[in-house]
């Protein structure tokens, strides 16, 4: 019997490739040293910026300016890894300074260069800046557990929204941006996220009150679904179905990150400024 994954339907491809990525990722995040997390964030940021470049820009700039576009994918996670939150902010400021310097000394009369830097700044905020919160989370007490909490809540939301929407979906959530998403699916995703988050907290953080667990899980779920819609909006404006064809059944890295990019900052913020003494 010939084994050809290209002949599978998108749901089967999505399930198999999702499991194939989840198992080694879980092992890596659970046992790998923190510096390896930094390398992972850099690689993911580079690939995601490459995908985002094709969505945001009509043409490629000169090689020097293109190098400046990708520089923050390395600079921001590296500074965050070694210097924490101060490094995150300083690296972003340095990235913006380098971008302006590149325009100043190469094309200071080019309006297109300023517009490109504006879009580049958006890309830096969207990918390496937000993704570097993984490294801030890793430096917190019980950082690994909170990383898995965030991943579990987001994945539960995706699964709950998908299967609830398929079975009970009747009312469109935001048809102009994502025609397949339904209100029923969004509610199902929210309920599944809260259930998964509370279950995780009961296993690993018994000292955390359930209402805090429910609230944080619910907010992460809402933020992840909004992140999905936001990336769908970018693709729709760019007239693209997927950010790339890198992952069978899933599209590109950016299509997998959309639900996560805002979830990590939310968890880190709550852990740093609200959930104390765990």
pLDDT tens digits, one per residue of 176-195: 888 889 999 999 999 999 99
What percent of the chain has a predicted confidence (pLDDT) above 70?
85
CA 25 to chain centre: 15
75-90: average pLDDT: 96
User: Which stretch of DSSP H or E encloses residue 182?
Assistant: strand 178-182
Q: Do 277 and 146 share a structural domain?
A: yes
Q: Do 203 and 167 share a structural domain?
A: yes
Question: What pLDDT was estimated at residue 5?
Answer: 44
Q: Do 276 and 151 share a structural domain?
A: yes
Q: How confident is the model at residue 137 (pLDDT cuts 50, 70, 90)?
A: very high
Residue 155 pLDDT > 80, yes or no? yes
**Looking at 139, 161, 177, which one is the last position of a domain?**
139
Q: Taking a C-beta distance cutoff of 8 angstroms, is the pair 171, 182 a contact?
A: yes
C-alpha distances (whole Å) from 277 to each of 134, 141, 239, 255 are: 20, 10, 48, 36
Q: Taking a C-beta distance cutoff of 8 angstroms, is the pair 205, 214 a contact?
A: no
Residue 93 pLDDT > 80, yes or no? yes
Sole residue written with tokens 């490094």: 87
Q: Do 147 and 278 share a structural domain?
A: yes
Beta bridge partners of residue 149, listed in sequence order: none
Is residue 8 one of the residues assigned to a domain? no
Q: Do 271 and 148 share a structural domain?
A: yes
Q: Taking a C-beta distance cutoff of 8 angstroms, is the pair 237, 120 a contact?
A: no
Question: What pLDDT was estimated at residue 235?
Answer: 84
Q: Do 277 and 161 share a structural domain?
A: yes
Q: How confident is the model at residue 2 (pLDDT cuts 50, 70, 90)?
A: very low
**Looking at 90, 107, 139, which one is the last position of a domain?**
139
The pair of three-digit structure tokens given for residue 122, joined into one six-digit string: 């958006």
Determine if the pTM surpasses 0.85: yes
Is residue 273 one of the residues assigned to a domain? yes
How many domains in the chain?
2
Sole residue written with tokens 């599944």: 192
Q: Do 147 and 116 share a structural domain?
A: no
Q: Taking a C-beta distance cutoff of 8 angstroms, is the pair 265, 131 a contact?
A: no
The pair of three-digit structure tokens given for residue 70, joined into one six-digit string: 């990708």
47-60: average pLDDT: 85
Q: Do 113 and 100 share a structural domain?
A: yes
Q: How confident is the model at residue 276 (pLDDT cuts 50, 70, 90)?
A: low
Residue 1 pLDDT > 50, yes or no? no
Angle between the N-to-C axes of helices 111-124 and 63-70, in degrees from 0 to 180, rounded to the nearest 10: 20
The pair of three-digit structure tokens given for residue 228, joined into one six-digit string: 């999905």
Residue 224 pLDDT > 90, yes or no? yes
**Looking at 85, 109, 139, which one is the last position of a domain?**
139
Select the more confidently predicted residue: 62 or 68: 68
Tell me the average pLDDT of the chain: 85
Question: What pLDDT was estimated at residue 22?
Answer: 66
Q: Do 146 and 125 share a structural domain?
A: no
Residue 4 phi, psi dihedral angles, 5° rounding: -135, 100
Residue 19 pLDDT > 70, yes or no? no
- CA 250, CA 182: separation in Å to the nearest integer? 19
Is residue 3 one of the residues assigned to a domain? no
Is residue 23 one of the residues assigned to a domain? no
251-259: average pLDDT: 81
Is residue 11 one of the residues assigned to a domain? no
Is residue 238 one of the residues assigned to a domain? yes
Select the more confidently predicted residue: 207 or 277: 207
Residue 11 pLDDT > 60, yes or no? no
Q: Taking a C-beta distance cutoff of 8 angstroms, is the pair 192, 160 a contact?
A: yes
Q: Do 220 and 123 share a structural domain?
A: no
For residue 64, the enclosing domain spans 33-139
Residue 85 pLDDT > 90, yes or no? yes
Return the ∠ at Cα 258 (arms to 254 and 263), rounded to 5°.
Answer: 135
Q: Do 130 and 223 share a structural domain?
A: no
Q: Do 156 and 130 share a structural domain?
A: no
Is residue 1 one of the residues assigned to a domain? no
136-147: average pLDDT: 91
Is residue 121 one of the residues assigned to a domain? yes
Question: What pLDDT was estimated at residue 184?
Answer: 94
């Amino acid at each position: 019997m010939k084994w050809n994954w290209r002949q599978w339907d998108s749901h089967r491809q999505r399930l198999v490739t999702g499991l194939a990525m989840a198992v080694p990722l879980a092992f890596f995040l659970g046992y790998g040293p923190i510096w390896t997390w930094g390398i992972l964030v850099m690689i993911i940021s580079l690939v995601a910026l490459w995908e985002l470049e094709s969505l945001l820009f009509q043409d490629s700039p000169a090689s020097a300016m293109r190098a400046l576009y990708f520089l923050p994918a390395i600079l921001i996670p590296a500074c965050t890894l070694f210097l924490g939150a101060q490094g995150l902010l300083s690296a972003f400021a340095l990235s913006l300074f380098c971008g302006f310097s590149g325009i100043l000394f190469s094309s200071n009369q080019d309006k297109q260069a300023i517009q490109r830097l504006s879009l580049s700044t958006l890309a830096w905020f969207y990918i390496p800046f937000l993704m570097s919160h993984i490294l801030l989370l890793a430096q917190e007490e019980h950082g690994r557990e909170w990383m898995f909490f965030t991943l579990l809540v987001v994945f539960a939301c995706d699964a709950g929204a998908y299967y609830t929407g398929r079975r009970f979906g009747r009312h469109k959530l935001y048809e102009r941006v994502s025609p397949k998403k339904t209100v029923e699916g969004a509610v199902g995703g929210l309920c599944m996220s809260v259930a998964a988050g509370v279950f995780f907290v009961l296993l690993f953080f018994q000292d955390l009150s359930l209402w805090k667990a429910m609230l944080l899980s619910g907010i992460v779920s809402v933020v992840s679904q909004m992140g999905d819609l936001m990336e769908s909006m970018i693709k729709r404006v760019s007239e693209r179905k997927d950010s790339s064809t890198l992952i069978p059944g899933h599209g590109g890295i950016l299509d997998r990150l959309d639900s996560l990019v805002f979830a990590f900052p939310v968890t880190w913020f709550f852990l740093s400024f609200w959930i104390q003494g765990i």
